Structure 1
Amino acid sequence: MLFDDSVIAAVTAHMNDDHTDDSLLIARAYGHPAATKSVMTSLDAHGGTWRVTDDAGEHELTVGWPNGELSDRPQVRRAVVMLYRAACEKLGISPREEHAPAASDHAEGAAHAPHGAAAAPEGEGFAHRIRTATWGDHGDSEGATFMADIMRGKGTIDDYTDLVAQHYFMYEALEAATQQIVDTPALAGLHPESLRRLATLERDLTHLLGESWRERIEAVPATIAYAQRITQVAEDGWLPGIIAHHYTRYLGDLSGGQVISRRVGKQFGFDGDGVAFYDFTDLGDLGAFKDAYRAALDVFGETLTEEEKLRMLDEVRAAYGFNTAVFVDLARTRVAA
């Protein structure tokens, strides 16, 4: 079982945003007892990987899932919880009570809610609702091998270049649509100037293909459909829909995208040019920005009716679907080449 980058991004973002203490306990229980920081960077069917910091420096830690190899996406959360509990047992401490429902519970609840959206637990904001209600939409795809190869350092430079090219067409549409967010005072903070990616994509493509890159790139059919959807949402002036695509892409860039940057940079020797797209240094503390972004989503959610919220959740799901379809097309293009 291979998990594509959207699955890895969703799981690692959730762990690094909401369960940093759990990751630290896992690191301390599995070989690094003096760990002071533990960041989940990746996972596959066999286990999870963390970047662990202690007095000796940084280390990569991979720990196998307690019940062996995973066979499907819904097993991931249960495997992580079991690993946390196993770590607690090794350390001789009591695991905290698990209050949040399992991913499968969200899926079951969604089947009975309008548009398949699970209702938010009392006291939790709209950003949390988006993350939980769309958890299952970060699923595997027949194109998972394309991103899995890139994530594992097995993709070619042509594979990576093709991915960068698709990003260019996506963000050309997205950043045009995003102007409506910037022009809305209450939401302008969602898109500071340092978040813009088109210039960095142009820089990367110049590095990868030379000055004539514009004549050498082509969008796959799924990317064309993706960009057309974003453009249509913008032309309709549907602000929640624009935010749905903005959230899906940029929060992914700030989470799983950072893993891609490190893997690709190491494989191809890129330092700056080539992976500039993933460099958000000018944004400052990425964790703080993501927290502020989610807080703004919570405030925005309070302005929406329940029907509007459900429609926006559907658009987030659509965005994940488009993203997966792009990987499928890239995989097919690679086979046909």
Structure 2
Amino acid sequence: MNGDHPEDNLLIARAFGAPEAVGSEMIGVEESAGVWRISDETGARELRVAWPSGRITQRPQIRTEVVRLYQDACAKLGVEPRDEHGATPASAAVPAAAMSTASGAAAAGSADATGPDATAASGAPDEIPPFSRLLRESTWADHSDSEGAGFMERIMRGEGSLDDYVALVAQHYFMYEAIESAAGNFADEPALAVIHPVGLARMEAVEADLRHLIGEDWRDRIFALPAVARYADRIREVADAGWFPGYVAHHYTRYLGDLSGGQYIARRVAKQHGFAGPGVEFYAFPLLGELTEFKERYRRALDQLGDRLTAEERDRMIAEVRDAYRFNTEAFVDLARAAERA
């Protein structure tokens, strides 16, 4: 939604509670409603819009409900919906290739971590979608499971403690140390220069945040939780095997999430805890330029990578993306347990 069709967010906001909205971004999913952050002449606020079918109980329902909200908003405002959002429910419109790869299945959709992507396939039934869209549609439910872990929900709602946030930043250190040190294994891959420019690297920023949050002795005061240690080990295993698509699977889930839903987390945490730079530097990408444009370049690189892969190799990479989301969910569970013990 936020990355591919931001105008849909604005239509929904204007149709269901904010007729004068000039900005709208989907920021959350609840059982009874979707949550948008909108801005109008009164300022910025949250807007909850009830799902057309009532409460949802399964994550694959999210996509269908968002499409229905878009269709209802178009009808209410007298706007002609795009052909891709015709009468067919979104769950039925996903290409067969995507459905065969995922048992459930984004950003913000998928790794963009920006909330549900309401884009459905269009064209002939045999048309193969761009690989970036196939990744997104095939892993949406897995992405939602990751985002929906209770620990992250508290942080995104502004209900988590400062200690919760510090613990999250500490685990980021171990995740990104693994993924950024592994990038050197693929220096000869042309795609790496596109998806991993200097301005994307996070280690310097996360270290600065830890110094601000913990102190100069931060290295002696943090350790990887078991799930995060397993996560980092898997990233290194994939890189040591020289499997570039597998490395990209982890890269994709981490960085596009930081560039999408991560931006909302930064605003929420900065407001809650009074940070103005130090403390949330991890989410700042001043050298990348316009983030939307960079994400588009990233998706084009994914599409080109997909064109190089066989159907079996694409399926294997999608499976690795789903594993990456599972590692994320397990990390959040470990963080929640550690918070309970503190």
1:285 is aligned, of 281, 285, 290, to 290
Is 1:272 aligned to 2:277, yes or no?
Answer: yes
Which moves more between the two structures, 73-82 or 221-230? 73-82
Is 1:236 aligned to 2:236, yes or no?
Answer: no
1:220 is aligned, of 202, 225, 246, to 225
CA contact 2:36–2:47 (8 Å) conserved in 1: yes
Measured at CA, do residues 74 and 327 of structure 1 come closer, stay the same or move farther in structure 2, by a change above 3 Å? same
What is the CA–CA distance in structure 1 between the aligned matches of 2:50 and 2:89, rounded to whole Å? 23
What is the CA–CA distance in structure 2 between the aligned matches of 1:159 and 1:238, rounded to whole Å? 34
Is 1:85 aligned to 2:71, yes or no?
Answer: yes
Measured at CA, do residues 238 and 267 of structure 1 come closer, stay the same or move farther in structure 2, by a change above 3 Å? same
1:138-177 matches, cutoff 5 A: 138-140=143-145, 144-177=149-182
1:25 is aligned, of 11, 17, 40, to 11
What is the CA–CA distance in structure 2 between the aligned matches of 1:146 and 1:330, rounded to whole Å? 7
Matched letter for residue 242 of structure 1:
Y
CA contact 1:172–1:198 (8 Å) conserved in 2: yes
State the shift of 1:141 in Å.
6.5
Is 1:67 aligned to 2:26, yes or no?
Answer: no
1:33-44 matches, cutoff 5 A: 33-44=19-30
What is the CA–CA distance in structure 1 between the aligned matches of 2:101 and 2:65, rounded to whole Å? 29
CA contact 1:181–1:191 (8 Å) conserved in 2: no
Measured at CA, do residues 143 and 95 of structure 1 come closer, stay the same or move farther in structure 2, by a change above 3 Å? closer
What is the CA–CA distance in structure 2 between the aligned matches of 1:31 and 1:162, rounded to whole Å? 37
What is the CA–CA distance in structure 2 between the aligned matches of 1:265 and 1:115, rounded to whole Å? 36
Measured at CA, do residues 32 and 255 of structure 1 come closer, stay the same or move farther in structure 2, by a change above 3 Å? same
Q: Percent identity?
A: 55
State the shift of 1:114 in Å.
6.2
What is the CA–CA distance in structure 2 between the aligned matches of 1:141 and 1:323, rounded to whole Å? 6
State the shift of 1:182 in Å.
4.3
Which moves more between the two structures, 102-111 or 167-176? 102-111
State the shift of 1:56 in Å.
6.0
1:245-260 matches, cutoff 5 A: 245-260=250-265
State the shift of 1:150 in Å.
0.8
2:321 is aligned, of 299, 316, 325, to 316
What is the CA–CA distance in structure 1 between the aligned matches of 2:157 and 2:44, rounded to whole Å? 20
Number of residue-to-residue matches in the alignment: 322
Structure 2 SS opposite 1:237: coil
Which moves more between the two structures, 314-323 or 102-111? 102-111
Aligned to 1:102: 90
Measured at CA, do residues 114 and 186 of structure 1 come closer, stay the same or move farther in structure 2, by a change above 3 Å? closer
Measured at CA, do residues 181 and 16 of structure 1 come closer, stay the same or move farther in structure 2, by a change above 3 Å? farther
1:76 is aligned, of 62, 69, 76, to 62
CA contact 2:67–2:89 (8 Å) conserved in 1: no
Aligned to 2:34: 48
1:179 is aligned, of 176, 184, 187, to 184
Partner deviation per Cα, 1:44-95 (whole Å, 9 max, x = no partner): 2232232334466544433222333322212211221222223223223444
State the shift of 1:230 in Å.
0.5
Matched letter for residue 137 of structure 1:
D
Matched letter for residue 102 of structure 1:
A
Structure 2 SS opposite 1:201: helix
Measured at CA, do residues 307 and 39 of structure 1 come closer, stay the same or move farther in structure 2, by a change above 3 Å? same
Measured at CA, do residues 278 and 301 of structure 1 come closer, stay the same or move farther in structure 2, by a change above 3 Å? same
Structure 1 SS opposite 2:56: coil
